[in-house]
Amino acid sequence: MTLAIRTENVWKTYHPGSPRQVDAVRDISIEIEEGTIAALGGPSGSGKSTALSLIGLLTRPSQGKVYLGTEDVSKLSEVFRTKMRRETIGFIFQTQYLIPQLSAVENVALPLLCTDISRSKAEEIAKERLISVDMEHRLDFRVVELSGGELQRVCIARALMNNPKILIADEPSSSIDEALTKELLNTLRTMVDDEGLTVVVASHDPMVLQWADVRHLLHDGQIVQDV
């Protein structure tokens, strides 16, 4: 068994020592194998999104350790955390953050435009990623011209632009219907099977939880069940 992610007694506390103190995540320890889909389930406010932020290096734990592979990334400098995030992690957010006036290709290419890759090369890679999620017929369509399912595919393609080892998705089915959710999940499963991607998804959607290989159910910031 090769682990992609491991958390060790992780806490995340906001406003420590004040009347507003909140322990958003409390003593979480999980292990996620490479090439699997792991779901973090639970109601709103249970700590799912905070746990994703910790795994995705968007925030630091107040206590405990987070490992990506064999490396403890908890205390890395912000420079190295940013570098690792850019090179190894892709994100699908609840909000799509797509620019309506730009085409699918232009939106997907955006993450590479802040690197030393040329615009033409970035758009070439973006086209390849869009084709890989069956969007070859919509490459030059603007975001406002795309359906809900097509928008989700654009977001997946954008998340894959850095060839990540880990893909993090926060409530990916929250704004789409059941048919589009099935389409999204099938696309992600193909990525896992074909590319060995490790997916960590936070959701309270029973369909998403059932689709995952393993489930870690949270309540009040703690894991209450591993399935």
Residuewise pLDDT in 10s, the chain (227 residues): 799 999 999 999 999 989 999 999 999 999 999 999 999 999 888 999 999 999 999 999 999 999 999 999 988 999 999 989 988 999 988 788 899 999 999 999 988 887 778 888 999 999 999 998 889 999 999 989 998 888 888 998 999 888 899 999 998 887 777 888 888 888 889 889 888 899 999 998 899 999 999 999 999 999 997 77
CATH of the domain at 42: 3.40.50.300
Domain with 82 in it: 3-226
Q: Are 3 and 67 in contact (CB under 8 A)?
A: yes
* Residue given tokens 């990623």 in the structure block: 129
E-strand spans in the chain? Answer: 3-14, 22-33, 37-41, 63-68, 71-72, 89-92, 166-170, 198-203, 214-219, 222-226
> What's the CA gap between 105 and 113, in Å, rounded?
12
Helix (H) or strand (E) holding 107: helix 104-109
How high is the pLDDT of residue 183?
83
- Which pair of structure tokens corresponds to residue 49? 């999104």
Domain total of the chain:
1
Other beta carbons within 10 angstroms of residue 140's beta carbon come to: 11
> What's the CA gap between 104 and 97, in Å, rounded?
12
* Residue given tokens 């020592």 in the structure block: 17
